[in-house]
Amino acid sequence: MQLDQTIFKRATLLLIAFIIPFNAVHELGHLIPCIASGGQGTFVIGIIASQASCTILHGSLAFAFAGGALATVVAFTPLLILKGANKIHKFPSIKIVFISLGLGHFLTALLETFAKDFYMSDIALPILGFTTFSIYIGVLVLFGRTETLRKDKWLTSKEANELFKRNLD
Protein backbone atom coordinates (compact mmCIF):
# COMPACT_ATOMS: atom_id res chain seq x y z
CA MET A 1 0.00 0.00 0.00
CA GLN A 2 1.32 3.38 -0.98
CA LEU A 3 -0.15 6.87 -0.72
CA ASP A 4 -0.88 8.76 -3.90
CA GLN A 5 1.52 11.70 -3.66
CA THR A 6 -0.83 14.08 -5.48
CA ILE A 7 -3.69 13.29 -3.11
CA PHE A 8 -1.34 13.58 -0.14
CA LYS A 9 -0.02 17.00 -1.24
CA ARG A 10 -3.45 18.40 -2.12
CA ALA A 11 -5.05 17.10 1.08
CA THR A 12 -2.25 18.49 3.24
CA LEU A 13 -2.41 21.92 1.57
CA LEU A 14 -6.21 21.97 1.86
CA LEU A 15 -6.04 20.96 5.50
CA ILE A 16 -3.59 23.77 6.27
CA ALA A 17 -5.73 26.24 4.31
CA PHE A 18 -8.89 25.25 6.20
CA ILE A 19 -7.54 25.23 9.76
CA ILE A 20 -8.17 28.91 10.51
CA PRO A 21 -11.54 29.14 8.67
CA PHE A 22 -12.81 26.08 10.56
CA ASN A 23 -11.52 27.49 13.84
CA ALA A 24 -13.54 30.61 13.05
CA VAL A 25 -16.66 28.57 12.25
CA HIS A 26 -16.16 26.62 15.47
CA GLU A 27 -15.94 29.76 17.60
CA LEU A 28 -18.86 31.39 15.78
CA GLY A 29 -20.86 28.27 16.61
CA HIS A 30 -20.31 28.97 20.30
CA LEU A 31 -21.80 32.41 19.82
CA ILE A 32 -25.09 31.14 18.34
CA PRO A 33 -26.61 30.02 21.68
CA CYS A 34 -24.98 33.00 23.40
CA ILE A 35 -26.64 35.57 21.17
CA ALA A 36 -29.89 33.55 21.00
CA SER A 37 -30.03 33.77 24.81
CA GLY A 38 -29.56 37.52 24.79
CA GLY A 39 -25.88 37.52 25.73
CA GLN A 40 -22.93 39.18 24.14
CA GLY A 41 -20.00 37.16 22.94
CA THR A 42 -16.48 37.61 21.70
CA PHE A 43 -14.00 35.27 20.08
CA VAL A 44 -10.33 35.13 19.18
CA ILE A 45 -8.97 32.95 16.38
CA GLY A 46 -5.52 31.42 16.30
CA ILE A 47 -3.70 28.60 14.54
CA ILE A 48 -2.98 26.67 17.73
CA ALA A 49 -5.84 27.80 19.96
CA SER A 50 -9.01 29.83 19.61
CA GLN A 51 -11.53 30.89 22.20
CA ALA A 52 -15.07 32.24 22.48
CA SER A 53 -16.67 33.77 25.53
CA CYS A 54 -20.20 34.75 26.43
CA THR A 55 -21.49 37.17 29.05
CA ILE A 56 -24.28 34.87 30.27
CA LEU A 57 -23.57 31.25 29.22
CA HIS A 58 -20.35 30.45 31.08
CA GLY A 59 -21.02 26.81 32.00
CA SER A 60 -23.74 26.05 29.49
CA LEU A 61 -23.66 22.70 27.70
CA ALA A 62 -25.29 24.28 24.65
CA PHE A 63 -22.56 26.93 24.49
CA ALA A 64 -19.83 24.30 24.87
CA PHE A 65 -21.25 21.88 22.28
CA ALA A 66 -22.41 24.37 19.64
CA GLY A 67 -18.95 25.31 18.37
CA GLY A 68 -17.79 21.84 17.44
CA ALA A 69 -21.27 20.89 16.28
CA LEU A 70 -21.43 23.76 13.79
CA ALA A 71 -17.92 23.04 12.47
CA THR A 72 -18.85 19.35 12.10
CA VAL A 73 -22.00 20.18 10.14
CA VAL A 74 -20.07 22.61 7.91
CA ALA A 75 -17.39 19.95 7.28
CA PHE A 76 -19.79 17.15 6.38
CA THR A 77 -22.20 19.24 4.26
CA PRO A 78 -19.99 19.35 1.13
CA LEU A 79 -19.51 15.60 1.40
CA LEU A 80 -23.25 15.03 1.45
CA ILE A 81 -23.81 17.40 -1.47
CA LEU A 82 -21.04 15.86 -3.56
CA LYS A 83 -22.07 12.32 -2.62
CA GLY A 84 -25.62 13.06 -3.71
CA ALA A 85 -24.28 14.09 -7.08
CA ASN A 86 -21.93 11.04 -7.15
CA LYS A 87 -18.93 13.33 -7.56
CA ILE A 88 -17.07 12.90 -4.28
CA HIS A 89 -15.05 9.94 -5.63
CA LYS A 90 -13.44 12.42 -8.06
CA PHE A 91 -12.11 14.55 -5.20
CA PRO A 92 -10.41 12.30 -2.62
CA SER A 93 -8.39 15.22 -1.20
CA ILE A 94 -11.57 17.12 -0.36
CA LYS A 95 -13.11 13.99 1.13
CA ILE A 96 -10.03 13.40 3.30
CA VAL A 97 -9.87 16.98 4.58
CA PHE A 98 -13.55 17.42 5.35
CA ILE A 99 -13.90 14.02 7.05
CA SER A 100 -10.81 14.79 9.15
CA LEU A 101 -12.03 18.27 10.09
CA GLY A 102 -15.53 17.02 10.85
CA LEU A 103 -14.35 14.21 13.11
CA GLY A 104 -11.78 16.43 14.82
CA HIS A 105 -14.30 19.17 15.60
CA PHE A 106 -16.87 16.63 16.76
CA LEU A 107 -14.30 15.18 19.16
CA THR A 108 -13.56 18.71 20.38
CA ALA A 109 -17.28 19.36 20.90
CA LEU A 110 -17.58 16.23 23.03
CA LEU A 111 -14.54 17.14 25.12
CA GLU A 112 -15.63 20.76 25.57
CA THR A 113 -19.06 19.61 26.67
CA PHE A 114 -18.47 16.50 28.75
CA ALA A 115 -14.81 16.74 29.82
CA LYS A 116 -14.39 20.47 30.30
CA ASP A 117 -11.81 20.19 33.11
CA PHE A 118 -9.64 17.98 30.92
CA TYR A 119 -10.25 20.17 27.86
CA MET A 120 -9.10 23.27 29.75
CA SER A 121 -5.99 21.56 31.18
CA ASP A 122 -2.47 22.09 29.85
CA ILE A 123 -2.22 18.50 28.62
CA ALA A 124 -5.36 18.62 26.47
CA LEU A 125 -3.94 20.71 23.61
CA PRO A 126 -1.08 18.35 22.72
CA ILE A 127 -3.27 15.26 23.17
CA LEU A 128 -6.08 16.75 21.08
CA GLY A 129 -3.56 17.88 18.45
CA PHE A 130 -2.03 14.41 18.25
CA THR A 131 -5.47 12.79 18.09
CA THR A 132 -6.64 15.15 15.34
CA PHE A 133 -3.44 14.52 13.38
CA SER A 134 -3.97 10.77 13.82
CA ILE A 135 -7.51 11.09 12.47
CA TYR A 136 -6.13 12.91 9.42
CA ILE A 137 -3.47 10.24 8.83
CA GLY A 138 -6.05 7.45 9.22
CA VAL A 139 -8.47 9.05 6.76
CA LEU A 140 -5.57 9.81 4.39
CA VAL A 141 -4.48 6.16 4.42
CA LEU A 142 -8.08 5.04 3.94
CA PHE A 143 -8.83 7.25 0.92
CA GLY A 144 -5.40 8.22 -0.44
CA ARG A 145 -3.92 4.87 -1.46
CA THR A 146 -2.56 4.39 -4.97
CA GLU A 147 -3.39 0.73 -5.26
CA THR A 148 -6.72 -0.96 -5.77
CA LEU A 149 -7.39 -4.68 -5.97
CA ARG A 150 -8.61 -5.96 -9.31
CA LYS A 151 -9.02 -9.71 -9.56
CA ASP A 152 -5.73 -11.10 -8.29
CA LYS A 153 -3.54 -8.22 -9.44
CA TRP A 154 -2.79 -4.88 -7.81
CA LEU A 155 -3.17 -1.85 -10.06
CA THR A 156 -1.88 1.61 -9.37
CA SER A 157 -4.44 4.40 -9.53
CA LYS A 158 -2.72 5.65 -12.70
CA GLU A 159 -3.20 2.26 -14.38
CA ALA A 160 -6.80 2.10 -13.18
CA ASN A 161 -7.49 5.59 -14.55
CA GLU A 162 -6.03 4.61 -17.93
CA LEU A 163 -8.23 1.50 -18.04
CA PHE A 164 -11.24 3.58 -17.05
CA LYS A 165 -10.54 6.17 -19.78
CA ARG A 166 -10.12 3.43 -22.39
CA ASN A 167 -13.46 1.92 -21.37
CA LEU A 168 -15.19 5.28 -21.75
CA ASP A 169 -13.96 5.75 -25.33
At 27-78, the pLDDT tens digits run 999 999 999 999 999 989 987 778 899 989 878 899 999 999 999 999 999 8
DSSP for 66-98, please give it.
Answer: HHHHHHHHHHHHHHHHHHHTT-GGG-HHHHHHH
> CA angle, 24 as apex, 20 and 25 as ends, to 5°?
120
At 110-138, the pLDDT tens digits run 999 999 899 889 899 899 889 999 999 99
